[in-house]
Structure 1
Amino acid sequence: MHSQRLSELGIELPPVAAPVAAYVPAVRSGDHVYTSGQLPFVDGQLPATGKVGADVDPDQATELARIAALNAVAAAADLVGLDNIEQVVKVNGFVASAQDFGGQPGVINGASTVLQEIFADAGVHARAAVGVAELPMNSPVEVDIVVRVRD
């Protein structure tokens, strides 16, 4: 069902990004999967680096948040299978923000929108969109998700 939706949307989940420190991409606890924070890697590289609102345009950052969310879905799906995801419960989005940049919710909409495209009503979720001073590897965004899965 979700696999079919991805095909309809023309979206291919990326390979799971290798951790850059001492952690795993996702962990299951009961009927939930928690992903580690995912950067917007494309083929092992960050398409952009720096602060949103200075080095990175907010529209580009929104696309990067979409990519990071797809990386999070890939991490969860690798652990339990895409079609076993019942609902996206929570999204945490972090935006490396230039001073006086307050558009974090708009940037993280890139993540929220793609999750709703893939999972429809089951993609509607609670969310935090947080501005931070720095992110790993000078990434403009980082996203983690919590999903509920079938037994």
Structure 2
Amino acid sequence: MSDMGRWTDRLAELGIELPGVVTPLAAYVPALRSGSHVYTSGQVPMVAGELAAAGKVGAEISAEDAKQHARTCALNALAAVDSLVGLDSVVRVVKVVGFVASAEGFTGQPGVINGASELLGEIFGDAGRHARSAVGVAELPLGAPVEVELIVEVE
């Protein structure tokens, strides 16, 4: 279905480099294939083995900064997909689930998770259009402001 190199070439065009796969924080794997789908574990904004930021969105973390952290989470999820099946085997992004550690009264979760959704659109075009949930939560692992997981269809 996809031309070999289509997505990795697109990353290069965009000047985006996939990070290394984030080491799991507990007893799980970064990604798992079942049939024609790959499910990623939730990814927090880890950069070079360190959490990029901690705190609640709408208090310690601005919505705009959290949107960038959601983008980082999506890149980490794509790295997990790539390590399992190769990014070029992706047919389409099916679903994005985003969690936002939200300060009391913060209701901008959809805008935060747009950081992940917009990145997927930049990379995959129409194949990056997806169903999505953007959920506000009290706390996330390590105090992360945002966590993102993906479901992708693969060849």
- Same fold judged by TM-score > 0.5? yes
Partner of residue 141 from structure 1, selected from 116, 121, 146? 146
- 1:115 and 1:72 map into 2 onto residues whose CA distance is 11
- 2:24 and 2:88 map into 1 onto residues whose CA distance is 24
Secondary structure of the corresponding residue to residue 50 of structure 2 = coil
- 2:52 and 2:77 map into 1 onto residues whose CA distance is 17
Once the two structures are superposed, what CA deviation does each residue of 1:50-95 show, in whole Å capped at 9, x if it has no partner?
1000010110000000000010011011100010011000000000
Consecutive aligned runs of 4 or more in structure 1 exceeding 2 Å deviation: none
Secondary structure of the corresponding residue to residue 61 of structure 1 = helix
Q: Which residue of 2 aligns with 1:124?
A: 129
Q: Which residue of 2 aligns with 1:25?
A: 30
Quick check: 1:59 aligned with 2:64? yes
Q: 1:20 offset after TM fit, Å?
A: 0.3
Q: Which residue of 1 aligns with 2:74?
A: 69
Q: Which residue of 1 aligns with 2:3?
A: none
Q: Which residue of 1 aligns with 2:18?
A: 13
Secondary structure of the corresponding residue to residue 2 of structure 1 = helix
Partner of residue 34 from structure 1, selected from 39, 49, 55? 39
Quick check: 1:43 aligned with 2:48? yes
CA RMSD of aligned residues (A): 0.4
- 1:116 and 1:69 map into 2 onto residues whose CA distance is 11
* Corresponding letter in the other structure for 1:130: V
Matched length: 150
* Unpaired segments ≥5 residues, structure 2: 1-5
Q: 1:124 offset after TM fit, Å?
A: 0.3
Superposition TM-score, scaled by structure 2 size: 0.96
Quick check: 1:113 aligned with 2:118? yes
Q: 1:47 offset after TM fit, Å?
A: 1.5
* Corresponding letter in the other structure for 2:44: L
Q: 1:46 offset after TM fit, Å?
A: 1.3
* Unpaired segments ≥5 residues, structure 1: none
Secondary structure of the corresponding residue to residue 28 of structure 1 = strand
Partner of residue 95 from structure 2, selected from 59, 83, 90? 90
